[in-house]
Amino acid sequence: MSLVKTPQEIESLRRGGEILSRILRECAQACVAGVTTEELDAIARKRMTEVGAVPSFFGYQIDPSGPGFSGALCVSINDEVVHGPPLPARVIPASAIVGLDIGMWYEGLATDMATTVIVGTVSPRTQELVRDTRASLVAGLSAIKAGGFVSDIGSAIEESLQGKKYGIVRDLVGHGVGHEVHEAPQVPNYRERRAPRVVLRTGMVLAIEPMVTLGTWHVHMLPDEWTIVTDDGSWCAHFEVSVAVTDEGYELLTPWPDA
């Protein structure tokens, strides 16, 4: 399957991405203390159903022998990096950062995006983490243009965070998206000199998603076989957008939900 999408496919991804951004914005606005993660997921499911879309995460399996994901929305709290399942008994705390990650099939194509919401009052260092993680994604996007390399993106992300004593998660990376939820190429969020030199081509569609912690970059999976947490319990921020590579740079297919 081609990594390069046709103009018609990119138009469909653009329409789907705009819808997905609106849904994520509504979920983020509803992400307040006392709300359950299941209630946030219900918003995402309802809005997708209304537009004839399908959640790309629901039933998704990392491993064919493992459990399918139980929701449309990943809700990851504090030290949870990604993939927190939405649960009826799980309540958003009064003081937290919450990663909301969402994907959707629309007109036969998938888009993917994420944002981190600050709930209540958190420390200045945590606020800085959230701002800097978002800014690192912007830096990564600025490195995209046809003829460049996938590795340029991770280098720009890492450089933007240089000297700030964060951990950049290495076991999880960005990826191609569109025909599948996860496609080649992998897009590391750091300098990976051993990675293949993949050329960026006009029409490639990528999901860029830095995950940055207040401590270690090392992570592990919980017994639920989904939730990824930091090894040292440090809090993590996560932002993601889907973009199409263009001759001059990139086109944002999933508009920023916090803009």
In percent, the amount of the chain with pLDDT more than 70 equals 99
- In three-state form (DSSP H/G/I as H, E/B as E, the rest C), the secondary structure along 15-34 is HHHHHHHHHHHHHHHHCCCC
**Mean pLDDT calculated for residue range 188-206:** 91
**Mean pLDDT calculated for residue range 226-245:** 98
Cα 53 to Cα 15, 28, 72, 90, 111: the distances in Å are 11, 19, 11, 26, 11
- Which pLDDT score, from 0 to 100, does residue 259 have? 73
**pLDDT above 80 for 29:** yes
Place of tokens 């919401």: 117
- Tell me which amino acid residue 256 is: W
- Which pLDDT score, from 0 to 100, does residue 246 have? 97
- Which pLDDT score, from 0 to 100, does residue 15 have? 98
Cα 191 to Cα 150, 159, 182: the distances in Å are 10, 9, 21
In percent, the amount of the chain with pLDDT more than 90 equals 94
**pLDDT above 80 for 2:** no
pLDDT in tens, 171-189: 999 999 999 999 999 999 9
Domains and CATH numbers, the chain: 7-252 (3.90.230.10)
Q: What is the mean pLDDT of the chain?
A: 96
pLDDT in tens, 118-151: 999 999 999 999 999 999 999 999 999 999 999 9
- Which pLDDT score, from 0 to 100, does residue 1 have? 53
Phi, psi of 60 (to 5 degrees): -65, 140
